[in-house]
Amino acid sequence: MQSKNNPKLIQKYNIPGPRYTSYPTVPFWDKEGISLQNWTETVKRSFNESNDEEGISLYIHLPFCESLCTFCACHKHITKHHSVEDEYIDTVLKEWKLYVDLLDNKPSIREIHLGGGTPTFFSSENLKRMIDGIFDYASRHEVYDFSFEAHPNDTTREQLQTLFDLGFTRTSFGIQDYDPTVQQAINRIQKFETVKRIHHLSKEIGYESISHDIIFGLPHQNIENIKTTIANTVKLRPDRIAYYSYAHVPWIKGVGQRGFDENDLPKDEEKRELYELGKQLFFEAGYIEIGMDHFALPTDKMYKAMVEKHLHRNFMGYTAGKTKLMIGLGMSAISDSWYSFAQNEKRVEDYVNRVNKGKFPIFRGHLLTDEDLIIRQHILNLMCNLETSWATEEMKLKNIDKILERLTEMQDDNLIQIYENKLVVKESARMFIRNVCMAFDLKLAKTQPKGRIFSMTI
């Protein structure tokens, strides 16, 4: 049986499930959290094991946006008052100093990603002050890769030039959809001409990789109107396209998903068709599908990373490089020391207050067990390479038989192939990858979460 466009399979596998930007997923982190001592010790351990060779990554969360897009599931803080910028940057730099004081050597920074909210809410002066402040205590790794998220409506030439001069070579623009009815429903009016101008400006300045974020499954989207969005997108030839499945999670506090009715959302089969259409049109335009949600031109680093099997996935999604230690700075940012995770306070005021008292602003976390570490690697392999193997001693799981038992139905449905020591997800079943990972998720198997937590898998 072929999985493509099979409505029965879509119905069967479209269930609530994690997006696996981490394992264990955040709702399954230890209820007791992580002690500060465990957190700082694992950061130091990871740093000492990796800083000299591969370097470390920084994720900096810049949460402010001038207006609320009503589809958005990110951690943001809506304000038009730019007076918030100074204090926020001061706090990020103070938090960075807490980490610097913990580490024995100068950090060597390989990756920086500015995420949001909207990093381009901040003035060029403040963005420069922040990056210069980071490098007062760090050096650049010999191969570095700096990127940021930008809102086309408020990005200026000056910001693009300033960040480029600071070493940023990649940017991603939030597009979502070009149809006026959809834009109105999601409260995000954004003209193609605006995107075109800012896209060309970025290329002219010298940005190596430009990504466009498009979402399928938004209110009032249909096969006809999404064609225009896709046609406009490929016309500009971004190096990467993120084609996200709309995550409808209005039950999460503060997410602000409103302004449309659930009846306005395309249903299972329709949504699957939107995905299939996007995939086909991107393919026809020369793009190659990478992991889950992503397409790239063969000239982009991400494509090379996939071919060479060093694609990585973390809280920001897919990345072409991996570091063992990723420090997250800013409100709600999640850090990953490989051996543990920690998340910062989710309200700007709480975050600022904690840091101003000289404290690490983490409010929850998780110390990974040996079993967690093995499962984490299996899930990473599946999400990045569509296959995983338990042939080597360090990848063996004592529960593998139970896991494979849970996967027999997917094998019968011709979505995966199980071999003696290995599992391969069929290319045509890429859309069901989250369901495959769920079979490995022993925490989810043990305890089904109470109430709705996750978005639908398809």
Which residues are near ligand SAM by CB under 6 A? 65, 71-74, 115-118, 149, 151, 174, 176, 213, 215, 244, 246-247
Q: Which residue matches tokens 């479209």?
A: 14
The DSSP bridge partners found for residue 108 are: 139
- Which of positions 68-97 make contact with ligand SF4 (CB under 6 A)? 68-69, 72, 74, 76
The bridge status of strand 77-78 relative to strand 317-319 is: unpaired
CA distance 299 to 306: 12
Can you state the angle between helices 400-412 and 433-440, rounded to 10 degrees?
Answer: 150
68's contact among ligand SAM, ligand SF4, none, with CB below 5 to 8 A by partner kind, is ligand SF4
CB of 82: closest distance to ligand SF4 in angstroms? Answer: 15
Q: Which of 17, 32, 47 lies closest to 335 in space, CA to CA?
A: 47
CA quadruple 426, 431, 437, 439: dihedral sign: negative
CA distance 178 to 183: 7
The piece of 4-12, 66-74, 228-236, 437-445 that touches ligand SF4 (CB under 6 A) is 66-74
CB of 64: closest distance to ligand SAM in angstroms? Answer: 9
- DSSP secondary-structure letter at 66? S
215's contact among ligand SAM, ligand SF4, none, with CB below 5 to 8 A by partner kind, is ligand SAM
CA distance 335 to 102: 15
CB of 455: closest distance to ligand SAM in angstroms? Answer: 7
- Nearer to ligand SAM among residue 214 and residue 437 (C-beta): 214
The DSSP bridge partners found for residue 424 are: 387, 417
Site for ligand SF4 (CB under 6 A): which residue of 151, 170, 220, 324?
Answer: 151
- Nearer to ligand SAM among residue 17 and residue 117 (C-beta): 117
213's contact among ligand SAM, ligand SF4, none, with CB below 5 to 8 A by partner kind, is ligand SAM
Q: Which helix (H) or strand (E) holds 37?
A: helix 36-50
- Nearer to ligand SF4 among residue 6 and residue 79 (C-beta): 79
Max Cα–Cα distance, the chain, nearest Å: 61
424's contact among ligand SF4, ligand SAM, none, with CB below 5 to 8 A by partner kind, is none
Q: Which residues contact 23 (CB under 8 A, 6 or more apart)?
A: 372, 375, 376, 379, 380, 441
- Nearer to ligand SF4 among residue 279 and residue 294 (C-beta): 294
Q: What are phi and psi of 21, to 5 degrees?
A: -85, -5
The piece of 64-72, 103-111, 343-351, 408-416 that touches ligand SF4 (CB under 6 A) is 64-72
- Nearer to ligand SF4 among residue 117 and residue 219 (C-beta): 117
Site for ligand SF4 (CB under 6 A): which residue of 57, 118, 221, 457?
Answer: 118
- Nearer to ligand SAM among residue 37 and residue 263 (C-beta): 263
- Nearer to ligand SF4 among residue 242 and residue 367 (C-beta): 242
- DSSP secondary-structure letter at 285? T
Beta strands in 106-247 (DSSP E): 108-116, 139-150, 168-176, 209-216, 240-245
65 near ligand SF4, rule: CB under 6 A? yes
CB of 372: closest distance to ligand SAM in angstroms? Answer: 27
Assess contact for 63 and 348: CB atoms under 8 A: yes
- Which of positions 163-222 make contact with ligand SF4 (CB under 6 A)? 174
Q: Which of 135, 247, 127, 152 lies closest to 202 in space, CA to CA?
A: 152
- Nearer to ligand SAM among residue 174 and residue 266 (C-beta): 174
Assess contact for 139 and 52: CB atoms under 8 A: no
CA distance 256 to 242: 22
CB of 192: closest distance to ligand SF4 in angstroms? Answer: 18
432's contact among ligand SF4, ligand SAM, none, with CB below 5 to 8 A by partner kind, is none
CB of 245: closest distance to ligand SAM in angstroms? Answer: 7
Residues counted in the chain: 458
The piece of 61-69, 157-165, 294-302, 368-376 that touches ligand SF4 (CB under 6 A) is 61-69
Site for ligand SF4 (CB under 6 A): which residue of 116, 119, 152, 321?
Answer: 116
- Nearer to ligand SAM among residue 215 and residue 274 (C-beta): 215
Assess contact for 240 and 209: CB atoms under 8 A: yes
CB of 150: closest distance to ligand SF4 in angstroms? Answer: 10
- Amino acid identity of 423? L
- Amino acid identity of 164? F
117 near ligand SF4, rule: CB under 6 A? yes
- Nearer to ligand SF4 among residue 9 and residue 62 (C-beta): 62
CA distance 416 to 131: 45
- Nearer to ligand SF4 among residue 150 and residue 433 (C-beta): 150
CB of 174: closest distance to ligand SF4 in angstroms? Answer: 5
Transcribe 388-443 into DSSP letters: EE--SGGG--TTHHHHHHHHHHHHHTTSEEE-SSEEEE-GGGGGGHHHHHHHH-HH
Binding residues (CB under 6 A) for ligand SF4: these are: 65, 68-69, 72, 74, 76, 116-118, 151, 174
